[in-house]
């Protein structure tokens, strides 16, 4: 099915999951609570660049399905990742920040951000809620078969009290 390979929409991807998809998808028990921002980060020397996804992309839909509120929804978004600066991220003051890094090791990026005095002023960083989005060969935030792993991981971080199953329970259920 072509849409399974080429669509960036979570809803179209759900049609591609096996019949037990309802068990794999986290189902929120209450409405969203924390404000969340996923930011694609690129580190070039000592400079960092940040981008947020369009509202229609899987990264945004994952935040919503995980129980988070999208703080960037009122920004002037383009058709792809939209560049934002640290001042904008600080103005949004999200409860949690998730860093996606496609070209740098995400743990290196997180380490540099945590060491930056400006980033240390953000509430999410002060409270230990700056996370690197996990992955294996590819980041789990992408519109491929890994997105369900990313969604379950994100749900466990955004609202562990909102969901009934932990990611390891879901993974083990495929054995």
Picking from 70, 69, 65, 39, the residue whose alpha carbon sits closest to that of residue 139 is 39
Angle at 117 between CA 114 and CA 120, to 5 degrees: 50
Q: pLDDT at residue 26 above 60?
A: no
Q: pLDDT value at position 166?
A: 58
| Mean pLDDT of the region 40-63 | 79
Element (H, E) at 100: strand 96-100
3-state helix, strand, coil in the chain (%, to 5): 35, 20, 45
Q: pLDDT value at position 84?
A: 87
pLDDT single digits (tens) 114-148 = 999 999 999 999 999 999 999 888 888 888 888 88
Instruction: Give pTM, 2 decimals.
Output: 0.74
Helix (H, G, I), strand (E, B) or coil at 157: helix
Q: pLDDT value at position 43?
A: 59
Q: pLDDT at residue 16 above 70?
A: no
pLDDT single digits (tens) 60-96 = 899 888 888 888 888 877 888 888 888 989 999 899 9
């Amino acid at each position: 099915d072509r849409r399974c390979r080429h669509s960036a929409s979570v809803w179209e991807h759900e049609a591609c999951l096996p019949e037990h998809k309802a068990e794999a998808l986290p189902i929120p028990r209450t409405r969203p609570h924390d404000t969340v921002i996923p930011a694609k980060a690129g580190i070039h020397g000592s400079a960092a660049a940040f981008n947020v996804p369009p509202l229609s992309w899987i990264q945004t839909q994952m935040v919503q399905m995980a129980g988070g509120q999208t703080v960037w929804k009122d920004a002037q978004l383009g058709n792809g990742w939209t560049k934002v600066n640290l001042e904008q991220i600080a103005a949004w003051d999200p409860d949690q920040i998730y860093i996606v890094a496609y070209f740098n090791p995400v743990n290196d990026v997180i380490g540099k951000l945590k060491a930056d005095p400006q980033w240390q002023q953000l509430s999410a960083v002060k409270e230990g809620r700056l996370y690197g989005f996990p992955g294996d060969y590819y980041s789990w935030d992408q519109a491929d078969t890994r997105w369900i792993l990313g969604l379950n991981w994100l749900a466990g971080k955004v609202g562990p009290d909102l969901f009934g199953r932990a990611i390891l329970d879901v993974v083990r259920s495929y054995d």
